[in-house]
Every structure is written in structure tokens, then in C-alpha cells.
Amino acid sequence: MIKENIIAIKQELPPEVKLVAVSKFHPQEAIREAYAAGQRVFGENRPQEFAAKVEALMDLDLEWHFIGHLQTNKLKMVLPYADLVQSVDSQHLLDAVQDWGKANGKVIRVLLELHIGAEETKQGFKEEEILDILFRAEKYTHVRFCGLMGMATHTDCEEDVRADFARIADFRAYLQDLFPELTDFRELSIGMSGDWRLALDYGATIVRIGTAIFGERQY
């Protein structure tokens, strides 16, 4: 089914939108099956699982995205291997990523996570915090700011989801106008298995799809 699911989704995705197959809690065999179907970009959200899969799948040419909450004491499991860290959600984490990059001679590509959903439990920055960071962007010599990531409110109300996506899309456009020197600030990572089609209406450049590719998680 994995192959059929990937083919069906890619038929609906515009060619410029990147599909991240969220493989958390699924075995490496499922990733190999997705790879055989042409999928190259995978997302994980737990550092230990991320590092283990990267090591086990070294023989494949994969692009790895880290999409979960990242604690600063786990950076060494993620930053050497991640092509993109989508989930930078605090000043503390951003500073730690900068320090790690400087110490290890690597520039880390990141998305800043904007808190857009109604749930208090969601991680992420407020708009004014992101503005403050980008006004100081030159301080982050080993971080490349590539755009925004967000999760819509977990609800069956399409109107609420659309409002969340519109808010983050408008904010990205505002930031692009305000900071034209940040030439890499293009990505908008919104949309998951239940709402990715809606996300396309708001200019998503990355969608993060797990269940609709791999089925229900195997805990």
C-alpha cells in the first residue's frame, strides 16, 4: 500500500511542493519500501529514533528532516544528519543550534515554528518573537533561516484550519517583504495527513504526511 499511497499523493501535489514522508514509529523496512516507490525525503520527530534510522539506512540517498520538539541535550543525535530542522521552537534551542553549528563548523538549515493552533500544548514562537530573531539574523552565523513551520488547530472545522493556514502564510509573506536579504526564507511547512490539501491553497512548499502514506503508527 505504501507505494500506491505515495503515487496517489504525488499525483495531487504540485511539482514544487516537497513531500516529507513522516516515518516516526514505522520500521526501516517501511522507509525502504517508500524509497523503492521514489520517495526521498523523510521526517522523524524523536532524536534517538532519528539517529538510529539514519545509521541503518546509510546505503540509501535520503534527505532527512527533523520535525519534532528538540531538546538541547539531544542536538548531537540530530544536527550532524538533518538536512532541515523544521521545528526550532524557542530562543533557547535556536541559541544552542547556533553554538553547536559554530563548534562543529556546520551551518544548520532551520524553519522557525510559529504557534498557530488553538492548543496551549503546541510548541512555537509568537509572531513578535520571530520578528525579533530575524532583526538579529546576522548574529546567527551558523544558522540559515529557511522559512516557517506550523500546525493548524486539531479540529474538524475546516474554517478554523483555513484561518490558521492563512495567518502563517500571510506572516511569511510579510517577513519576506521585510527581510529581502534573507534569500533562503522561502519555505512554508504546513499540512499533514488530514489537512494537506487545504494547505496547498495557502502556498505550502512542504507537506508532512505520515498516516496517509504508512498507515496507522506501530507503537
Query: For each of the chain's 219 residues, which pLDDT tens digit applies?
Result: 999 999 999 999 999 999 999 999 999 999 999 999 999 999 999 999 999 999 999 999 999 999 999 999 999 999 999 999 999 999 999 999 999 999 999 999 999 999 987 777 678 999 999 999 999 999 999 999 999 999 999 899 999 999 999 999 999 999 999 999 999 999 999 999 999 999 999 999 999 999 999 998 755
- Whole-number Å distance between alpha carbons of 193 and 211: 6
Residues in the chain: 219
State how far Cα 27 lies from the chain centre: 20
CATH numeric code, 2-214: 3.20.20.10
- Each domain of the chain, given as residue ranges in start order, spans 2-214
Q: pTM for the complete prediction?
A: 0.96
